[in-house]
Chains A and B, each alone.
Chain A
Amino acid sequence: MNWTLMWDSLPRLLAALPLTLQLVTLALAFGAVLAFATALLRLSGNRVAVALTSAYSFVFRGTPLLVQIFLIYYGLSQIEFIRDSFLWPVLSQPMWCAILALALNTGAYTAEILRGAIETVPQGQVEAARACGMSRLRVFRRIVLPVAIRQMLPAYGNEVILMVKASSLASTITMMEITGVARRMIAQTFAVFEIFIVAGILYLLINFIATRLIKHAEWRMTPHLRARA
């Protein structure tokens, strides 16, 4: 084990950390919006909307993320009208292709989590809110959504970890995030274990912090479960 090499590789891998974090946060943010819209459409009961969102979730959960990334990065650039359209400045950049693929992927999974959570909100609470004279929108905003979000947090925590790991696939389309840098350094130094350990610890740290944050959010949202002083 070459300790100096491990120590020397740390600054270069740390320099790649912001890109990983950027990929993950942007993908999670866009994915959350997408998931919210998808879950609502799925629950709307409109047949066209249900069919479309089911197809979206089926395709993106049934194929590997690598296929989705390649399809967006290599596949879309081949289509003439996309290259001529206003989307091209965005889709010609690997960064945005990676974020788009990650967001579409996490959106499909999160939509299912959110839908499941919304369906577990007790009907009695909705009826009680209706009886208090709240409109449908207000019931959704004040009762259904907060309870559902609280319910979905543990499952969403897993999804966040999956996204942190999935961001490593951006390295296959030239993004130099942690895994990309690690791969390049392994090829240069042949110090496979040393670099794997440093990069692995970085990922474990990110995941540890993400898990803590989710746990904290869960704690904040369940004051009724805490022991009363």
Chain B
Amino acid sequence: MLDLLTSGLHGWGPQLLSGTAMTIAVALSSFLLGLAFGAAGAAAKLSDSLLLRGLAELYTTAVRGVPELLVIYLLFFGGSGMIMAVAGVFGYGGLIELNAFSIGVAAVGLISGAYSTEVIRGAVKSVPYGQIEAARACGMGRWRILRRVLVPQTLRFALPGLGNVWQLTLKDTALISVTALAEIMRVAHTAAGSTRQSFLFYSVAALLYLALTTVSTTAFQRAERYASRGVRRA
């Protein structure tokens, strides 16, 4: 097996493996960043403030309606400029260069967050309002209700939707290869270019992605089963 990895694939096995690790790292980081954006977005969408609702609506509509590749180009070409402009406001005039990893995570996280926003908003709304009233009647404060009643149930309701978002995020990381970050797609592209074995290397890339999506599907199924262990089934 190890022999095949080093001598087979024209010696590109190790790079492909580290590419897979990079894909997983980018996907996990952007999914978590997306969850943070999603929680903030859902809170904004459910808030009483018209401004916050409008901003969140703009965020989800724009990001979900514009191609992922365009968002990645925006951050790839304009990300450093944006950060420098913000730093300039705080009086820092130096040059700031973002690496491909943080740009990739920011871009995919932004996209993932727009989808997570909708999933989390839907999940929060499916917690019966009576339960919140009951908790309030028991004398719980806002934060305690959030922590004890709202969040645990929201997590359970959101899990299937978040599973879909994870699959999207995982597949969107392939687009980061345009920024030359050495994830699966980039390594496959380089290997295909140098060995002239495009079919072989893109097939290997496809298999690696299939393995990742299959494993994560099973993981999410397990998580769903675990999260709904206290729910009665008909």
A→B interface (CB under 8 Å): 58-59, 62-68, 70-71, 74-79, 161, 164-169, 171-172, 179, 182-183, 186-187, 190, 192-193, 196, 199-200, 203-204, 207-208
Contact = CB atoms under 8 A, between A and B. Distances in A.
Interface string B168-180: 0001111101100
Contact of A71 (B65, B70, B197, B203): B203
Given A64-B174, A200-B66, 6 more contacts: A63-B171, A67-B185, A78-B198, A179-B67, A196-B73, A204-B66
Given A62-B209, A63-B210, A192 B199 contact: no
Contacts of B69: 168-169, 171-172, 179
B199 A196 contact: no
A165 B199 contact: no
Interface string B193-210: 000111100110110011
Contacts of B66: 165, 199-200, 203-204
Contacts of B132: none
A204 B213 CA distance: 29
Contacts, number: 116
Nearest to B214: A62
Q: Chain B interface secondary structure, helix, strand, loop or mixed? A: helix
Contacts of B86: none
A166 B199 CA distance: 22
A161 B65 CA distance: 7
Nearest to B217: A62
Contacts of B57: none
Interface of B: 61-62, 64-70, 73-74, 77-78, 81, 171-175, 177-178, 185, 188-189, 192, 196-199, 202-203, 205-206, 209-210, 213-214
Given A63-B210, A172-B178, A192-B78, A74 B202 contact: yes
B197 A59 contact: no
Contacts of A167: 67
Contacts of B61: 204
B210 A62 contact: yes
Contact of A204 (B62, B173, B178): B62
Contacts of A208: 65
A76 B77 contact: no
Nearest to B74: A196
B67 A67 contact: no
Given A168-B67, A172-B178, A200-B62, A67 B74 contact: no
B77 A186 contact: yes
Contact of B65 (A64, A179, A196, A204): A204
A172 B73 CA distance: 12
Contacts of B70: 168, 179, 182, 196, 199-200, 203
Nearest to A20: B67
